[in-house]
Structure 1
Amino acid sequence: MTDRPALTVTLDSDTFKAFYYLKEELTAFCRQEGLQATGSKAALTQRICVYLSAGKKESAKAEKRYAADIGELTAESIIEPNIVCSEKHRAFFKRELGRQFSFNVLFQNWLKENAGKTYGDALEAYRKILADKKANPTKIDKQFEYNTYIRDFFSDNQGKTLQDAIRCWNYKKALPGHHRYERTDLAALYEEVSL
């Protein structure tokens, strides 16, 4: 099994990208090197890649948004550009859709992409999003590689334990390349364990 290299300034960016590092490791490296240590795992990874390849210290730029004064919301109201999902919006959607309403990511994205349509259109879109979520399994974002791996492991290996899945995950993340489940990862379960 290949040992994963330590995350240091001597590591080249291609090698860094080939291995799996925990977000906590990325954050610690950023703090140690004076890089901005906030943001998603993907943002930290990108920041470290730039630093390892070019020595540049990039910082995340937050875009400040302001809520528009939208007045009373009705189904005929127009969705404003650069919408900020406020308590006024939440109250409208709860009134129209029920107390179980919550702003999920898909719906927030739909609102941002559909400025100029009506809130009646938004109500229909929310109902469709919920129906689609029930009909199709949720895609796990790239930054949640562990969750995706464990789900795929159990999909292919009914009867195996969580400890089996974790052992295979630990084997996989120590290898260079992608960190998606493959049936060959089961080799980790059959290796001799020396105590």
Structure 2
Amino acid sequence: MNRPILDKNLDSQLFTEFYYLKEELIQFCRDYNLPTSGGKIELTNRIQQYLKDGSVLKTNKKQRTIEVNQTFSLATVILPHMRYSEKHRAFFKQYLGPTFSFNVPFQRWLKENSGKTFQDAIDAYPILLNIKKKQGAAIDKQFEYNTYIRAFFQDNKGKSLEDAIKCWRYKKSLQGHNKYEKSDCNVLK
């Protein structure tokens, strides 16, 4: 079955069976006056609800905490929804070295540990890096392409990125899940 056109007449269940780019989801929301904010999962849920019964899911607007005091110390408390700036990056680089980055595991740790201090964050950073090295970085659900490509290369040593992309394009055109399967490589023959 060819991927159906994303419009208001699409069945909500059928919509979930196909892959759509985030840009396509945003365009749908614009076309039908739905909120365009949020990540791919939030947009997908909003569109599915709209297609199901015409209702609009409310957006989750997170209130960002603005750091008024721009000087930091090891005792600075991590606030909920804190937005990290270049000044924060410079502070952490002071203690963690020039290779410091706000990588995903560290960002997640900061988000889950409001109330702790920057010292706690500095102590946690090398532990998080070590876990990331041993286990590989986890890929969040909305990054289906990245997950697919990683699984492709784990199963196909020596294949090219071009091969992986051909398989991905084939897979996302099909109805159903977008997880890598060995049979996807048939498209390379």
Q: Post-superposition shift, 1:30? A: 1.5
Give ranges in structure 2 of 5+ residues lacking alignment: none
State the percentage of identical aligned residues: 51
Q: Post-superposition shift, 1:17? A: 0.5
Residue 79 of structure 1 pairs with residue 72 of structure 2: no
Task: Name the structure 1 match of 2:16.
Answer: 17
Looking at structure 2, the residues matched to 133 and 173 of structure 1 have their Cα atoms a distance apart, in angstroms, of 28
- Scaled by the length of structure 1, the TM-score of the pair is 0.82
Task: Name the structure 2 match of 1:134.
Answer: 133
- Larger radius of gyration between Structure 1 and Structure 2: 1
Looking at structure 1, the residues matched to 168 and 85 of structure 2 have their Cα atoms a distance apart, in angstroms, of 40
Q: Which amino acid aligns with 2:46?
A: R
Task: Name the structure 1 match of 2:161.
Answer: 162
Task: Name the structure 1 match of 2:121.
Answer: 122
Looking at structure 2, the residues matched to 149 and 99 of structure 1 have their Cα atoms a distance apart, in angstroms, of 32
Task: Name the structure 2 match of 1:53.
Answer: 52
Task: Name the structure 1 match of 2:104.
Answer: 105
Conservation of the 8 A alpha-carbon contact between 2:65 and 2:79: no
Looking at structure 2, the residues matched to 165 and 71 of structure 1 have their Cα atoms a distance apart, in angstroms, of 46
Q: Post-superposition shift, 1:115? A: 3.2
Give ranges in structure 1 of 5+ residues lacking alignment: 191-195
- Scaled by the length of structure 2, the TM-score of the pair is 0.85
What count of residue pairs does the alignment treat as equivalent? 188
